[in-house]
Amino acid sequence: MKKDTKQEIIETAFKLFHEQGYANVSVRNIADELNISVGNLTYHFKKKEDLIEAVIIDQYENFQVPATPTTISELNDFFLLGVSHQKQEDYFFAHYGELASISPKVYEVQVAAIQKRKQKLQVAFQNLQRNGDMLPEEVPGQINALIDVLNMIKIYWTPNQEAFTNAKESPFDCLWSLIYPRLTAKGKATFQEDIQTRNIA
């Protein structure tokens, strides 16, 4: 543990929070796991709240933002990445609201991440409309409402799905079910040939 103590603390805190939950991990547990003294740890992070903030800021800054989709197939890849991100960090999504209530900073980072994703999806749907894969909006605001729901699924589906659906389904079918009726005949054909076959295979 020479190079970057601070970064090592963040990574260990991530691992322990993820495995055992924020409430069940003490500053001492993290110091012990790293074989450092509590004093050494609190030199970098005064209290446990600072650690959850640092963990979540670190995740946010290091998250490899996927490219903005320009086709149906790329939109599917975007969703695939989102779902795998979800699974990797499932503790942080399952306790989304709880973690936000510990620190306003955490909440700020959550909001920034969602806003970034929202903008990407807005451009993605403009791209699909330009390609002739998606119908223009009949009622203004509906595509933005759809995007809010897609983000909601990204946050809540995987950790909480058992409470509201009895099937252990992937969120894919669900995401596409919402978009499908907004596709043109060309878009629907592409979806059925390209995405449905691929997801089954």
Q: What's the distance, Cα to Cα, between the start and end of the chain in Å?
A: 45
**174 class by beta-carbon count within 10 Å (0-12 exposed, 13-18 middle, 19+ buried):** middle
Our finding on whether 166 is near its own copies (CB under 8 A) is yes
Our finding on whether 136 is near its own copies (CB under 8 A) is no
> For its own copies, which is the closer residue by CB, 57 or 135?
135
> For its own copies, which is the closer residue by CB, 31 or 183?
183
> For its own copies, which is the closer residue by CB, 39 or 181?
181
Tokens of 43: 């030199």
Nearest distance in Å: CB 8, its own copies: 30
CA angle 55/153/94 to nearest 5° reads 40
Q: What is the DSSP letter of 47?
A: S
Nearest distance in Å: CB 95, its own copies: 8
- What single letter denotes the amino acid at residue 72? I
- What single letter denotes the amino acid at residue 62? N
Our finding on whether 82 is near its own copies (CB under 8 A) is no
Helix 72-88 crosses helix 171-179 at what angle (to 10 degrees)? 140
Nearest distance in Å: CB 136, its own copies: 12
Residues that bind its own copies (CB under 8 A): 94-98, 100, 107, 110-111, 114-115, 118, 135, 138-139, 141-143, 145-146, 148-149, 151-153, 155-157, 159-166, 169, 173-174, 177-178, 180-182, 188, 192, 196
